[in-house]
Structure 1
Amino acid sequence: MELFTLWMAKGSETQVDKLFGELMEELRELHIDSLKVFIDTETEQELVGLRCTWYETDTELANKVRERAGRGIASYVLAEYEERIIKKMIINEYAYKIRDEISKIETYTLHILDQSEEEIGGHQARKRRKNQIALAFITYLEEFPEVNIDGFIHFRLHAYAEELREVVEYAIDEYLMDKQYQEFIALLKYFVYIQDAKIPVAHLMHKGENDFILLNEDFEPIETKQVETFVVEMIDKDINYEDMIVSTLITVSPQKVFIHTREPEMQVIKTIKQIFDDRATLCTLCGSCSPHLGDFRKEQRSTLT
């Protein structure tokens, strides 16, 4: 007897083969010899599909087959439809038309969906989406033996689509913030480029976390009108220490800035390097910064022990 049939538009033979592969991977584990899955066509409606038939009457076993089929369909949807749904949302619902912007937002979205378990997306989130899709198909197949895959995804997976929509919205916010940040960095880079140097050298000593000291070429503290002492400690949470450091460096306008740090991957360090470009040199250990920042090798040894 026919257990269920999954239909797709004719011309989707490649996709049908992929769906067939996902189904068979799940159904093989049941080891039911009488269960047969084969590709069928319906020329009048221009459809091509997968028809699942078997020669059993065990209702409990039939439910297991549907459950496995639902999981196989869900794997197929995640692999073949998710990116297309995301791209369609970006274009149709958020009116992005420029290819580069669409691609970047799509990348942001997929990155969020693929993030580690401790963050927004990750393996557990993907597993949950798969279970959500599988349950929707299983429930439908229990009542209706035939389903059009494209139509079902479009009209029935509302909760899944809404979750993707929320992630797309978050990704767009991230993209716009990053775009504004890059535009601001570009403006500061231009300002540094056209500004005449006021001092030959500045040494930025990063003592750890948000603690910085700015020294001149003789390794003496630099006084500025903006900050009387350049030791930034985040006592007042409203003060953006990154803006303060960048503003001070631009004010003193060194021809060359040496950034001494044991944490080169910190965002503020990357920002300064971006703004000052070839005028900035990164140092993680030298004879001049060791008295201020300590011996990096000793710190590493003490951490290891």
Structure 2
Amino acid sequence: MQAITIGTAAGIDEIRQRLDDEFRILRAEGVSVRIGQSHRGAFAFLDCAVDADGSARSAQIGSLLRESVATALSDVIVEKWEDHLIRKIIRGSYSYFSRDEQDLIAAYTGRTLRSGAEDARGGNAEGRKTRILRRLRDYLDTADELVLEGFVNFRLRDYIEELEDAVDRAVDEYLMEREHREFIRLLRHFVDIQEPRIDHVHVLLGPGGSFRLVDDDGGAIRSEALEEFVVEMVEDEVSHEDLLISALITLAPRRLTVHRSGRPSGRDEAFETILGVFGERTAECEGCTLCSPTHAGACEPSQATWQH
């Protein structure tokens, strides 16, 4: 008989369920696999055993047992334990955030890890699982007992560091978004207390951050204060979005309509910022003559298209 013993202080049921899923494949091939459970103090142990008599077939069965256990445990670590590990890191390194903030940071971290972004050190979930599976195989080749918490903390130190890096990036992202929300809230308050200077502005958003501000007839909006402001902003090399929002605040329109036919599909941060600052004053056009390519395209600065 060959056996592997797995110990854990938490999550014994989900580990057993995942092992049962793997062993079902072995059992379908006629291999007799048994799982026994015992307890030692705070730890529960699963004893996974297969019949073996020293023959070549038995050696193959033992190899299949180790592969099945490694596969099951790598799945459990990434799919079941990863969120717990992330939250543990957040509680340890960023305890000064509120519980709700910690929940948001955990969600940001999970999103980054799931996306498998090229700049994410940990890669995607399948990549992490593959590396952990390889480490488990190596360990089980020379040992027949494994305490999962100890294995994760000491044998997967690089994996924990990957999660720590992902948490750090998530905190940076959260702080930037929080700062942005606070800035938008401040701008909205300023807009709310400001007297409107113009009744209606059409905002034509084009590709690459370009935009035009026109009136109801499609003519460029002229304003001495605005043009002086735009020149100053361009010389300061601010972003397109900042320039657009600042120009709209300078005009202080009572109403504004946003035309986005010239923008690619997907999330539009400029449009989201306009909505955040101007709220119910904002309407989105679903298609009109102003949305035609002749209006939405880039124009010369004299035609009130401000780009830099």
Q: Which residue of 1 aligns with 2:295?
A: 292
Of residues 5, 22, 44 in structure 1, which corresponds to 2:18? 22
**Structure 1 residue 66: Cα displacement:** 0.7
Per-residue Cα deviation, 1:205-231 (whole angstroms, up to 9, x for no partner):
234433322123454322343436979
Tell me if 1:126 matches 2:125. Answer: yes
Work out the CA distance in 2 between the residues paired with 1:81 and 1:269: 38
Q: Deviation of residue 178 (structure 1)?
A: 0.7
Amino acid at match of 1:84: H
For residues 240-279 of structure 1, what are the alpha-carbon distances to aligned partners after superposition, in whole Å with 9 as ceiling and x for unaligned? 1111111111011111112222138421122112111111
Residue 256 of structure 2 is aligned to residue 254 of structure 1: no
State the shift of 1:29 in Å.
2.5
1:182 aligns to what SS in structure 2?
Answer: helix
Instruction: Verify: 1:81 aligned to 2:81, yes or no.
Output: yes
Aligned to 2:105: 105
One-letter amino acid matched to 2:19: L
The count of corresponding residues between Structure 1 and Structure 2 is 285
Deviates more, 1:265-274 or 1:78-87: 265-274
Gaps of 5+ in 1: 295-305
1:205 alignment partner, SS class: strand
| 1:182-235 Cα deviation digits (max 9, x unpaired) | 11111111110111111112222234433322123454322343436979xx9x
Q: Is the 8 A contact 1:109 1:167 kept in 2?
A: yes
For 1:284-304, what per-residue CA distance to the aligned partner results, in whole angstroms no more than 9, with x for missing partners?
31245546249xxxxxxxxxx
Structure 1 residues 190 and 143, CA gap change in structure 2 (3 angstroms) = same
Aligned partner of 1:194 in structure 2 is 193
Question: Within 5 A, what are the aligned runs for 1:1-305?
Answer: 1-9=1-9, 12=10, 15-30=11-26, 31=28, 33-43=30-40, 45-56=41-52, 57=54, 58-115=58-115, 125-221=124-220, 222-227=222-227, 238-262=237-261, 263=263, 265-290=267-292, 292-293=295-296
**TM-score, with normalisation over the residues of structure 2?**
0.82
Q: Could you say if the C-alpha distance between residues 93 and 183 of structure 1 is closer, same or farther in structure 2, counting changes exceeding 3 Å?
A: same
Percent identity between the aligned chains?
Answer: 29
Query: Structure 1: how far apart are the matches of 2:3 and 2:37?
Result: 14
TM-score, with length taken from structure 1: 0.83
Between stretches 157-166 and 136-145, larger displacement belongs to 136-145
For structure 2, list consecutive stretches of 5 or more residues without a partner in the other structure: 298-308
Q: Is the 8 A contact 2:75 2:129 kept in 1?
A: yes
1:81 counterpart SS class: helix
Counterpart-to-counterpart distance in 2, 1:239 and 1:42: 64
Contact 1:6 1:149 in 2 (8 A): yes
Q: Is the 8 A contact 2:23 2:33 kept in 1?
A: no
